[in-house]
Every structure is written in C-alpha cells, then in structure tokens.
C-alpha cells in the first residue's frame, strides 16, 4: 500500500509541473475554463428559457397536458405545425365523458375543452361601407345624407380617376382601364343619381360590384381561433386578461380577438404604420433620419393617405383640410395653388424625428375619431368563415366582445396566434353539431323530402360527402353552402342569428371538442399525472393521447429541443476541438519530459505511478480551470439575470423568454454539469498522452545528455 | 555467497535500419559484493550497454544476466521495476533530478516508491544521507539552484538512500570539471567503504579509473582486460574534497 506521503509527493510534483510548464497549462487551462464557462452559461440559459417558455405555453394556451383522440392522423400542434393549422387530430365525441374521467385523476385541477381551426373574416372596403350607408339612407329617404354620400363618392371617384390617368401610360390592359374610367363617369353623372330613386338596389349594386373593386382597401384576414369553454379558460389560464371591451358573459356566444392580432391585422393600416414607427423611435431608439428602413416605412405610410381621405365624410374632410393648411402652411400643390386634402395628408404623414410626436398625437386626437380605426369594432357582429373538414365553406356570425392578452406576452405574435371563441359557435363553424341541432336538422330534412338519406349518411350529406371536391364550394357566395340543394332557409336564418342564442354549461360539456387542455395543481408532478391520466383513459375505454405541453405545442415546443440539440452539438464540437488540442499539447509535453519519466522508471517507479502523475496533473488543472470557468459562467449568468436579456422584436424570443426580457439564473446542477463534463473531457484527453508516458522505457534516462 | 552480478555469454544487438549492431558480443563478468568497479573503454565500446543490462533497464539478446541471484531475462517489466527499486541505485551522467522537487523530496522519492517507512524514519534517513553528501544547508533548494557537483551529490544521496545492494553510475563525472569529478568519485568510494555497497561505474577518464579497485576494459563489445588494483585510497581524495569545497562555496 502506498503511503499518504507517496500520493502527496506525486500531487505536489503534478501541481508544480502545472506551473512549470506554463505555456502548456495556459493553453489547456484556458480551453477548459472556456469550456466550463460555456457549459454553465449555455445550460443555465437553456434551463431558464425552458422554464420561461414552459410558463408561456402552459399559462397561455396549452395547459400542462393536452388530451386528444388516439385516432388522430396528425399530431396536435397548438402553435401551428407542419400542416398550417389543418392537422387532423381526430375528435373527442363527447367532452363530458372525458371530463368525468379526468376529474377523478389526482393532481388534475381542470380540463378545458378546445377546438382549434383556421377561419377568415372580412370587412368590406370603404366604397362598400358607403354603399351600405347609402342603402340605409335610401330606405330612410334621408335626402341630406344621400347628398353627403354622393359628394363622398364623387371625391373618391376623382381620386381614383387621377390615379388611373397616371396609370394609363404604363398599363397593358388599356381596355379594362377604359371601362373603369367609364364607370367612374357614370358614378358622377346626374343620370346615375336619378336612377337611384327608380331602382335603388340596382344602383347600389353597381357601386358594390363595379366601383368598390377599384380600390384595394378591402379586408380579408385569416386567423386561427380556439373554440373553448371561455369561462373555464379564463379561470384556469392565469395570464389571460381582457384588454379592450369585456369578457364574453357566461352562456353567451362570442369572440375575443388576441390584442396583438387585433392591432396588427384589424386596425386601420395608417394607424398601424404610425404606431410601428412611433414605437421604433421611442422604444428602439431609432431615428427616422438615420434609419433607412424606417424612412422607407414613412414613405410607404405617406402613400396610404387615401385610406384616410376615402373614409372621411365630406364635412370632416373640409375641416381637416383647413386645419392641415394652418398646420402646414408651407405645403402647396404642384402648381403652387392651395393644396388639396390628399396632398396635405401625404405631407402630414411624411413624418420626421421632429414632428413625429406632435403628428402622432394629432392623428389620434383629430383624425382617428373620424375614420374607421378598426375594421371590426368591439361590439360588432362579424361573419367568420371556415372550410369544414370535407371542404365546404361555412360561415357563422359572431359578436366581438373584446380583445385579450396573455400577461407578459403582449408583444408575442405566437402567443397572439390564436383568438378565442365559445365552443358552441366553434362546433357550428367546424361542422360539428350538438345532438339537438342534429335532430332539428333531421326533422327539417324530412319535411323537405330528403328522407331517403339514412342517418349514417346524414353528416356526409350535410357537411359535404366524399365525392364532392373542394372547388365545389364557391367562395364568393358567403352563405352556408353545405346546405345547398336543400331548402334550408330556416336553418340559414337560424345560424346567422345564432350569435344571439344562449347556452348552458351542459351544452358546453355535452358535445364535440377536438382536444382538451389539462391544468395541474402541481406542475412538478407532470410526468406522473400524465401517466395516471393515460391509464385512466385506457381503463375507461376512451382511447386518448395524453401529451405534455412541449409535445403539444408543435414546432414551438420542439424549438427548445432544437436549441438544446444545437447547444449540445456546439459544446460537443468545442469539446472535441479542445480534446484534440489538449491531447496534442500533452503529447508534446510528454515528449519534453521523456528523460524525467525515464529516470523515475529507472529508479523504480511503476507505470501506474507515471499514469497517476499525469492524471493528477490534468485533474488539478481541470479543477482549477473548471472552477474558474464555472465561476465566470455563474457570474455572467448572474449579471444577465440582473440586466435581463432583451427579446427585442423577435417574436419567438419573446415567447421563449416568457416576456420582453429574460432574467436567467443558474442552478447548482449547471455548475455540476460544467465541472463534471470538463473533468471527463480532460481525463479522456489525457489518456493517450499518459499512456504514451507509461511506455517511455527507463533506458532513456541513461541516454540523456544535456 | 553468490556474486551480486553474474553475466554469462551476454550478447546485445541493436537493430539499425536493415543492419544489426552488436554492442556486446559475448561478455562474461562476475562482480562480488562490495567491489568498486569501473568499466572502461573507448567511445562506442559498449559500456553503457553493459550497465543497462546490469541495471535491469534493458535485457540481453542472449546470455544470462543475474542480479543478486535473479535472472533478468525471465522477468516482466513490473518485476524488473521492483528489482530496480529495491536493489539498484542509479547515478546518471546528467544527474536527472526531478526539477520540480526540492533536494529533500528528490532524495526522499525512492523511499516513497518503496513505502514501508514512517514519515519520521524517512526524514531521518534522508537527512542522514544528505548530511553524508554534505548538502544539509541546501536541503530545501531546487535542482536548478545547485551547481553541477552539488546535483551529482544529490543524485548519489538519492541512489543510496534506499540502501541498495548495487549502485550503477554511467560516466558520473563526464558533465563535471575534473576536480569536481574526482571529488564525486571520492565520495562514491567513501560510500562504498562505509555502506559496503557495490559500485559499478563507467568512464573513459584515466584519472577517474585510477580510483577503482577493479578496472574492466571493454573494446568492441568484448572484455579486453580485467584487473584488480587493490588501490584503496588516494592522496587525491583529500585534495579533491578540498577542491570541490572551493569550487562550490
Ligand atoms: N539504442 C541503440 N540503437 C542502436 N545502436 C545502439 C544503441 N545503443 C547503443 N548502440 C550502439 O552500440 C554500440 C555500443 O554503444 P554504447 O552506448 O554502449 O557505447 P559506450 O561505450 O557507452 O560509448 P560512449 O563512451 O560513447 O558512451 C555503439 O556502436 C552504439 O552505436
Ligand atoms: Mg555510454
């Protein structure tokens, strides 16, 4: 047995060797130090990110676990997956059955039914809106209003004409342009306005079909929505908060826009651009003068002036013209004459760093109230359309109650990727019917003589059979096309007015959902509860898939895995390089020490002693460098934890960071992983040179001449 | 009692490209305990080769090398190492001290490899040995703070601290000036007398040779002559000791 002193002297020799061979130690030490720092920092950041992201996902949409049909063809991807939101995840025939099972499982706080789909909403363009108002005015025989609208339409026609005239020189389709100009002439003719009293509908339809398409400010927005039990959703997703309007009252059908989606897609284009410019100047400390991109944005915005002028009523337009003239006396028309409203608006929107704040304020104070700031306002009833599974276009009306946010994720598009709707309306839109509605339909169908369709075929027939293709549903008939060929006018009415209907809790529970979010009491026991839940469903004879939030969130959830993978690969490569460098350095150092090692061997040191010396050296150096690196990494992470890492405008980052900034922290595990991995790397990299050293024969001691 | 070293018809060949160099071509030699033998001969005659075989750092191509009764050709690396540790001390031409250890640690090192002694016993042994080579004041100095003569004296202390039966020295004076070299030989002679340790050293310096009690001459890998001088002390010993003292104040 070797004495303690034996080990002590080997240890002392090793430590002294480290400090004697300075260059070697510096190279190897720095590599180890850097490696450890990297591992500590990297894993700490990842852990923090995973933690933040888990909070983002679990508290915004996913819950801790998601349940969906075991018969699903695709995997559930809450935040969008490869199928762009049209994954076939099967369906849960009766949510109530699911709920009953889940509630028995320990640690389950709540289970919330969901149905996710893509739909489109449309808001007509300005001309459409004026035409609509005109229709009401004609019906009410409000001549003053009609005159006002005629003036507005005439101004619009002027604007369009000047645009077309400019276009005439460059367009290829001269015929179409000529037809458009002719139509504009007709709109401004007295004859047209006289015809309004003869056949108002024909005249208004002329405006809607011939004039409206000329200006391209229509709105078709595609959106993702989650049909859910809104009460339960609000209760169980703590980050949920109403921003505009109000929550959908219990038992009401209704729609809530994600605030960011509403601001980015439904708000008036000019207001949106102005907001963005204002935000970039104030929050990102950019200046219009210096930032070329921002300058381009200002240019683009100023060319959108017609989006304002078209929306102004003639009297508002007049007032605004004189106000803007006073505000910007230097602005003249090209020929030096008094500038028109359009010239003025364009100049007004040509903001710079000096006048941005003033104009921003003026815009919201004096212009915004006179235009449609949002195409769809809180309180409006809008038509929402979606293709059913079988490819038919289906539409329902729904009332917009307000907008919502997930706290901390206000700026994240991903968090705002889904809007919310009550699940009953979702079922209507998705082509899923409650039992009562199915019965109603059945009855009506019998009445209209469709009795030969048996019950099994009922749904196929209603929602489009397999033989009918997607193109069979013309998009422009914004109706309820799955009812085509059958006189179901009653149901059509029924569905169009459905947004007014109430429902009770039972209707919510007793019906179809696509998936369900499970919120846990104690998220730390996720794996355990997941298994328990899976077992419970298996026992109950309802084949369900239970997945954790990470899996359920689709690409986003996998993102962290990808980052982790990238980090590990990077660390692996760095360690591999370090390994090679350490190995080479040590081999060179071994060569230099051939005589010393040979001498020790000649004196009677066994190979194991030589090996021990080498390993001691590496371990001591590894520990010194590793501790330094770990401390460095920990300090760095602590510093980051103080100042926070800004997510900037990077949407994914906001989501991953769980907010606009991430404040990372490190744990003992990170330090341990860092130290252990560097020790392993240094030991592995020493094995070869150490083995080489043990092979040095004692004879070399005799040959040494210096 | 059997001789400490017994060599019988030893041949050592080194491969050199396609050729084979016969460094030793049939050597018979027997050395008794307590002898102070020098191996002399011109450069390339095979002195180092012979010492390597006796020192168990190499094995013969053919023939027998027996150290204290053990034939080395049958032993594995581990056993050869153990044999070196317990029976042989080495003094090298270039001193070969461990540069990161101080004088005390260098001398102590073989004892640590051997194990078996308490810290106190070890310290006594080391101090005694260092005192014998006259380096007590330098006990905590590192090799690079010592002169060549002092270093070789540390090496002698290190070789002798385990009380080996046999001490081998391959040209121990070659890296020293002649006065210091003679002092080193004198010190070895003294140790040989006091500890009755067998010494075998090589040299081609005739002045150094004179101090040996037996001179084995080899030429071209063969023993050319083998003479006992029975020369026990030399007046040079006294002057050499003084000269060394002057050379390294
Ligand atoms: N490792 C080796 N490989 C090949 N040839 C060797 C080796 N070692 C020694 N020789 C050869 O063996 C012969 C004897 O060498 P050795 O070193 O034993 O001589 P020496 O008497 O010690 O010489 P010197 O006085 O120069 O030290 C020489 O010809 C030498 O070239
Ligand atoms: Mg030699």
* Per-residue pLDDT reduced to its tens digit, A409-431: 887 777 777 899 999 888 888 77
Instruction: Report whether pLDDT(B163) > 60.
Output: yes
pLDDT at A438: 56
By three-state DSSP, how is residue A658 classified?
coil
| Cβ neighbour number for residue A661 with a 10 Å cutoff | 17
Instruction: Report whether pLDDT(A271) > 70.
Output: yes
How many angstroms separate the Cα of A345 from the Cα of each of A304, A342, A428, A658, B204? 9, 5, 44, 40, 109
Number of domains in chain B: 1
pLDDT at A652: 75
B249 domain-assigned = no
> Strands of B166-170's sheet, edge to edge?
B88-91, B166-170, B198-203, B36-40, B214-219, B222-228
Atom 26, ligand 1: residue with shortest CA distance? B43
Instruction: Report whether pLDDT(A517) > 80.
Output: yes
B201 domain-assigned = yes
CB < 8 Å to A607, chain B: 77-78, 81
- ipTM of the modeled complex: 0.89
| Cβ neighbour number for residue A487 with a 10 Å cutoff | 14
Atom 2, ligand 1: residue with shortest CA distance? B14
Q: What is the DSSP string of B66-125?
A: EETTEEGGG--HHHHHHHHHHHEEEE-TT----TTS-HHHHHHHHHHHH--S-HHHHHHH
B23 domain-assigned = yes
Structure tokens at A350: 């040509």
For chain A, report the end-to-end CA distance as a whole number of angstroms: 36
Closest to A630 (Cα-Cα) out of A582, A574, A676: A676
pLDDT at A508: 82
Confidence tier at A493 by pLDDT (50, 70, 90): very low
Chain segment A465-492, per-residue pLDDT in tens: 333 333 333 333 333 334 433 434 444 4
User: DSSP assignment, residue A267?
Assistant: B
Chain segment A32-86, per-residue pLDDT in tens: 999 999 999 999 998 898 888 888 888 888 889 999 988 888 888 777 655 555 6
Tell me the nearest-neighbour CA distance from B235 into chain A, angstroms.
31
- CATH number for position B210: 3.40.50.300
pTM of the predicted model, to two decimals? 0.66
Distance CA A445, CA A492 (A): 13
Instruction: Report whether pLDDT(A521) > 80.
Output: yes
Question: What rounded mean pLDDT belongs to chain A?
Answer: 82
Confidence tier at A706 by pLDDT (50, 70, 90): low
pLDDT at A466: 37
Contact across the interface for B112 and A701, Cβ inside 8 Å: no
The range of the structural domain enclosing residue B33 comes to 5-239
Distance CA A345, CA A705 (A): 94
B246 domain-assigned = no
- The count of CB pairs under 8 A between chains A and B is 101
pLDDT at B242: 37
Report the residue of B57, B77, B79, B171 to disrupt the A interface, i.e. the one with the largest count of A CBs within 10 Å: B57
| Cβ neighbour number for residue B192 with a 10 Å cutoff | 20
Chain segment A604-642, per-residue pLDDT in tens: 999 999 999 888 988 899 999 999 999 999 999 999 999
Q: Which residue has the tokens 């460095």?
A: A632
E strand or H helix that includes residue B33: none
B247 domain-assigned = no
Q: How far is the CA of A155 from the centre of ligand 2 (A)?
A: 113
Taking the CA atoms of residue A368, residue A369, residue A371 and residue A376 in that order, the dihedral angle to the nearest 10 degrees is 100
Taking the CA atoms of residue B180, residue B182, residue B188 and residue B189 in that order, the dihedral angle to the nearest 10 degrees is -150
B47 domain-assigned = yes
> With contact defined as beta carbons under 8 Å apart, do A148 and A316 qualify?
no
Atom of ligand 1 nearest to the CA of B50: 18
Give mean pLDDT, residues B57-83: 91
| Cβ neighbour number for residue B66 with a 10 Å cutoff | 18
Pairing state of beta strands A418-422 and A219-228?
parallel
Q: How far is the CA of A704 from the centre of ligand 1 (A)?
A: 13
Confidence tier at A462 by pLDDT (50, 70, 90): very low
B248 domain-assigned = no
pLDDT at A655: 78
Atom of ligand 1 nearest to the CA of B171: 27
Confidence tier at A245 by pLDDT (50, 70, 90): very high
B152 domain-assigned = yes
Chain A within 8 Å of B110 (Cβ-Cβ)?
yes
């Amino acid at each position: 047995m070797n004495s303690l002193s034996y080990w002590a002297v080997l240890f002392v020799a090793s430590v002294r060797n480290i400090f004697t061979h300075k260059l070697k130690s510096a190279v190897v030490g720095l590599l180890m130090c850097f490696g450890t720092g990297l591992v500590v920092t990297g894993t700490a950041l990842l852990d923090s990110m995973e933690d933040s992201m888990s909070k983002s996902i679990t508290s915004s949409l996913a819950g801790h676990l998601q349940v969906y049909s075991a018969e699903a063809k695709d995997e559930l991807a809450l935040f969008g997956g490869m199928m762009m939101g049209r994954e076939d995840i099967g369906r849960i025939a009766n949510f109530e059955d699911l709920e009953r099972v889940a509630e028995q499982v320990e640690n389950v706080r709540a289970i919330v039914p969901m149905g996710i789909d893509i739909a489109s909403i449309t808001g007509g363009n300005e001309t459409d809106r004026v035409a609509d108002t005109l229709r009401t005015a004609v019906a009410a025989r409000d001549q003053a209003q009609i005159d006002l609208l005629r003036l507005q339409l005439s101004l619009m026609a002027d604007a369009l004409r000047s645009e077309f005239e400019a276009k005439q020189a460059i367009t290829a389709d001269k015929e179409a342009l000529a037809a458009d100009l002719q139509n504009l002439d007709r709109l401004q003719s007295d004859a047209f306005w006289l015809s309004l009293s003869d056949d108002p509908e024909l005249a208004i339809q002329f405006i809607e079909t011939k004039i409206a398409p000329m200006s391209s400010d229509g709105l078709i927005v595609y959106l993702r929505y989650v049909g859910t039990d809104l009460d339960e959703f609000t209760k169980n997703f703590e980050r949920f908060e109403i921003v505009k309007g109000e929550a959908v009252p219990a038992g009401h059908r209704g729609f809530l826009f994600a605030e960011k989606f509403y601001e980015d897609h439904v708000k008036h284009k000019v207001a949106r651009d102005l907001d963005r410019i204002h935000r970039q100047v104030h929050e990102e400390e950019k200046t219009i003068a210096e930032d070329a991109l921002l300058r381009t944005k200002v240019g683009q915005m100023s060319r959108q002036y017609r989006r304002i002028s078209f929306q102004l009523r003639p009297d508002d337009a007049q007032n605004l013209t004189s106000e803007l003239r006073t505000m910007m006396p230097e602005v003249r028309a090209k020929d030096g004459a008094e500038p028109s409203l359009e010239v003025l608006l364009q100049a007004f929107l040509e903001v710079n760093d000096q006048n941005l704040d003033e104009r921003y304020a003026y815009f919201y104070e004096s212009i915004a109230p006179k235009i449609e700031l949002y195409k769809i306002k809180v309180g409006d009833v809008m038509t929402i359309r979606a293709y059913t599974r079988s490819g038919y276009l289906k539409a329902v009306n729904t009332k917009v109650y307000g907008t919502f946010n997930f706290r901390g994720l206000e700026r994240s598009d991903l968090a705002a990727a889904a809007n919310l709707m009550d699940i009953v309306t979702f079922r209507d839109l998705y082509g899923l019917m409650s039992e009562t509605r199915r019965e109603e339909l059945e009855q009506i169908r019998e009445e209209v003589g469709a009795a030969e369709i048996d019950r099994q075929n009922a749904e196929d027939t209603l929602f489009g059979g397999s033989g009918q293709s997607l193109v069979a549903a013309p998009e422009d008939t914004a109706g309820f096309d799955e009812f085509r060929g059958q006189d179901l006018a009653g149901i059509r009415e029924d569905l169009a007015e459905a947004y007014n209907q109430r429902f009770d809790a039972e209707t919510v529970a007793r019906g179809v959902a696509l998936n369900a979010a499970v919120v846990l009491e104690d998220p730390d026991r996720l794996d355990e509860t997941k298994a328990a839940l899976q077992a419970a469903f298996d026992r109950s004879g309802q084949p369900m898939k239970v997945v954790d939030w990470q899996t359920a969130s689709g690409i986003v959830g996998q993102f962290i895995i990808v980052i982790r993978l990238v980090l590990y690969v990077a660390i692996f490569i760095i360690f591999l390089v370090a390994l090679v460098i350490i190995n080479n350095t040590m081999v060179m150092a071994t060569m230099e020490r051939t005589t010393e090692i040979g001498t020790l061997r000649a004196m009677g040191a066994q190979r194991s002693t030589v090996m021990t010396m080498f390993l001691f050296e590496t371990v001591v150096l590894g520990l010194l460098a590793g501790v330094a690196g770990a401390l460095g990494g920990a300090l760095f992470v602590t510093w980051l934890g103080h100042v926070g890492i800004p997510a900037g405008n990077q949407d994914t980052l906001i989501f991953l960071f769980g907010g606009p900034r991430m404040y990372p922290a490190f744990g003992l595990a990170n330090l341990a992983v860092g130290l252990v991995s560097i020790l392993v790397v240094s030991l592995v990299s020493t094995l070869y040179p150490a083995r080489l050293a043990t092979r040095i024969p004692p004879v070399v001691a005799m040959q040494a001449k210096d | 009692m059997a001789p400490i070293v017994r060599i019988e018809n030893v041949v050592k060949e080194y491969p050199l490209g396609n050729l084979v160099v016969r460094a030793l071509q049939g050597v018979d030699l027997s050395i008794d305990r307590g002898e102070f033998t020098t191996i002399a001969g011109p450069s390339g005659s095979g002195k180092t080769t012979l010492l390597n075989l006796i020192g168990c750092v190499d094995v013969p191509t053919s023939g027998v090398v027996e150290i204290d009764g053990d034939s080395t050709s049958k032993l594995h690396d581990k056993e050869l190492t153990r044999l070196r540790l317990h029976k042989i001390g080495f003094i090298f031409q270039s001193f070969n001290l461990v540069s990161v250890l101080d004088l005390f640690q260098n001398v102590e090192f073989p004892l640590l490899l051997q194990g078996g002694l308490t810290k106190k016993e070890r310290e006594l042994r080391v101090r005694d040995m260092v005192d014998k080579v006259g380096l007590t004041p330098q006990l905590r100095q590192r090799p690079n703070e010592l002169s060549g003569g002092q270093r070789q004296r540390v090496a002698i202390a290190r070789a002798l601290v385990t009380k080996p039966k046999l001490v081998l020295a391959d040209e121990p004076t070659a890296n020293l000036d002649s006065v210091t070299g003679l002092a080193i030989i004198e010190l070895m002679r003294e140790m040989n007398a006091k500890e009755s340790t067998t010494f075998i050293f090589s040299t081609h310096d005739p002045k150094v040779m004179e101090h040996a009690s037996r001179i084995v001459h080899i030429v071209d890998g063969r023993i050319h002559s083998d003479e006992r001088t029975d020369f026990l002390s030399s007046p040079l010993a006294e002057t050499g000791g003084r000269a060394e003292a002057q050379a390294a104040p």
